Structure 1
Amino acid sequence: MAKKETKEMSFMDHLEDLRWLFVRSTFVVIGIACACYFIDDFIFDTIIFGPKDPNFVTYRFFCEVTHYFGVDDTYACAQEFNFKIQNQEVSGQFSMYLWTLITAGFVIGFPYILWEVWKFIRPALYEKERKMAGSFILVSSILFFIGVLFGYYIIAPLSINFFATFNVSKEIENIFTVDSYVSMMKMSIVASGIVFELPIIIYFLAKLGLVTPDFLKKYRRYAIVIILILAAIVTPPDIPSQIIVSIPILLLYEVSILIAAIVAKKTETNE
């Protein structure tokens, strides 16, 4: 039978390992952020302000889909966005610039952060599970980057399209601050990436015995309500956008139930 590592560590030893986890991860994120300085034009002009262009790939895709089904394309087909982005603070652009590069460093360096997390939790795992480091980092990174792409190509464009075209009166001109625009982009991207880690989180909660498949099934209806509320928060207040965002998260929840069931079965076998 596989066993866990027998070396005992004190609480302070665990805190020391956790501290170094944060230190090393921070240095890597900052290092990548510094490297991103050399491609900052691409990051801002192409990536950050890409969804501001009505010809962005997401708008074209939804427009073609609505044309295919013969649906009114007034909302789906983005027209010229009538809004401006401006800076209102002396250090506004500089602060936004630094935090955007740091966010880019976090996203790109996420696999390394996963490696550090794996090394931290490794002593609590069985010998067979400790050999799964490559699989853990690969699957977790893939889920995270899928979530990042989902946030960038789905959530962010839907939000921009809605808020840029929404106007209660012709007397009001939409002038968004650069900080609010970039913050919305970063939140959509990073939050989506973290949400897509749900199966991995459920796996470790199931390993710790904090979550069971029966528990997840029992509270599925509550989870659906929470997911719908979450979708309503991160998307514009329109039903189509909320449905588009909710479907992948609901699928992730169902996958999490399956993962919890597999973990429970293996735990019973080991016992």
Structure 2
Amino acid sequence: MMDKELNFVEHLDELRKRLIISAVAFILFLVLGLVYVKNIYLFFMGDLGYKLMILGPSDILWIYFHIATVVAVAGTIPVAAWQIWLFVKPALKPLERRVTLAYIPAMFFLFVGGLAFGYYFIFPNIMRFLINLGKDLMTTSFTADKYFSFLINMTLPFGVAFEMPLVSMFLTTLGLVNPYKIVKLRKYTYLILVLIASMISPPEFISHISVAIPLILLYEISILLSKIVYRQKQIPALNVDEKRDNHIY
């Protein structure tokens, strides 16, 4: 009993260590984002063609911290994934260690790819559509607060969503997810994804569809890749059973 308690305490200490390292990495990347926040701000402005307005001095600080936070999240993802891998490493088999280790750099690139997809495809198309709705009736002028809130809502969820296929593969490799059970929840998942799309996109039908369809496609890709990993995990077990049957025979 004492050994179990000591082992549990050691696991908690190890987990605390990994969380602290991830938190420190987040803070460092946050500082880095704040150092280069003006360059990042100008990049996100794109070809808007005019300066954004602010309604109060605190808006500047809010915008800078939101931009730096996105940078910090992107930079912390591989660090946090590495820490998670180190935490579960003792429980993994040698093959599982090599396979899951390859997921770490992929998580970062998929997150950045999701941000790029949201920024270069979803954001400009929805932005153009909404501006054209009132083009002949209203003068278009945005506050920095509204512009960057809209931009982050259109890009950050896709950065997270693009992680779905990799996370499902990772959890399937660890034996924590069975894709054939997830398939049974498809209709409920679709409903949740549509609700998420409606919450993060502007309140009109075209925007909802533009966001919901990519999320649903990513979910289906996640199931497909998870099934591939699951089948590959079953092959060694089948070979062992065949050898055992042959030996008995």
Q: 1:50 aligns with which of 40, 43, 46?
A: 46
Contact kept in structure 2, 1:155 and 1:235, CA below 8 Å: no
Partner of residue 206, structure 1: 172
Count of equivalent residues: 234
Gaps of 5+ in 2: 238-249
Which residue does the alignment assign to 1:219? 185
**Deviation at residue 260 of structure 1 after TM alignment:** 2.7
1:126-141 matches, within 5 Å, as 126-141=93-108
Letter in 2 for 1:122: K
2:90 and 2:199 map into 1 onto residues whose CA distance is: 38
Secondary structure of the residue that 1:132 maps to in structure 2?
helix
Q: Distance in 2 between the 1:133 and 1:8 partners?
A: 29
Which residue identity does 1:219 align to in structure 2? L
Instruction: String of CA shifts for 1:184-217, please: whole Å, max 9, x gaps.
Output: 3223322211111111222244346554232233
Kindly indicate whether the alpha-carbon contact (under 8 Å) linking 1:107 and 1:190 is maintained by their aligned counterparts in 2: no
Percent of paired sites with the same residue? 30
Distance in 2 between residues matched to 1:235 and 1:51, nearest whole Å:
22
Which stretch shifts more, 155-164 or 189-198?
155-164
Q: Please state which structure has a larger fraction of its residues in helix.
A: 2
> 4+ residue stretches of structure 1 with deviation over 6 A?
none
Which of 201, 207, 226 is the aligned partner of 1:235? 201
Following TM superposition, by how much is the alpha carbon of 1:257 offset from its aligned partner in structure 2, in angstroms? 1.9
Question: Cα–Cα, structure 1 residues 144 and 93, in superposed 2: closer, same or farther, change >3 Å?
Answer: same
Give deviations 1:25-46, integer Å, cap 9, x for gaps: 2322332333334433321112
Q: Per-residue CA shift, 1:142-167, capped at 9, x if unaligned? A: 22121111121123223433444444
Tell me how far apart the structure 1 counterparts of residues 126 and 20 of structure 2 sit (CA, whole Å). 35
Residues 122 and 210 of structure 1: is their aligned pair in 2 closer, same or farther, counting only changes over 3 Å?
A: closer
RMSD: 3.3
Aligned twin of 1:161: 128
1:92-111 Cα deviation digits (max 9, x unpaired): 21232133223212223432
Cα pair distance change 1:18/1:190, threshold 3 Å: farther
* Higher RCO structure (Cα 8 Å, ≥6 apart): 1
Taking a change above 3 Å as real, the CA distance of residues 256 and 98 of structure 1, as seen in their structure-2 partners, is: closer
Matches of 2:13 and 2:213 in 1, distance apart? 41
SS at match of 1:14: helix
Q: Tell me, in whole angstroms, the C-alpha distance in 2 between the residues paired with 1:9 and 1:175.
A: 62
Indicate the residue corresponding to 1:57 in structure 2.
Answer: none
**Are 1:24 and 2:48 matched, yes or no?**
no
8 A Cα contact 1:51 1:157, kept in partner: no
Counterpart contact for 2:96–2:174, Cα < 8 Å: no
Unaligned runs of 5+ in 1: 1-6, 54-80
Contact persistence 1:158–1:235 (CA under 8 A): no
Q: Of 144, 155, 160, which aligns to 1:178?
A: 144
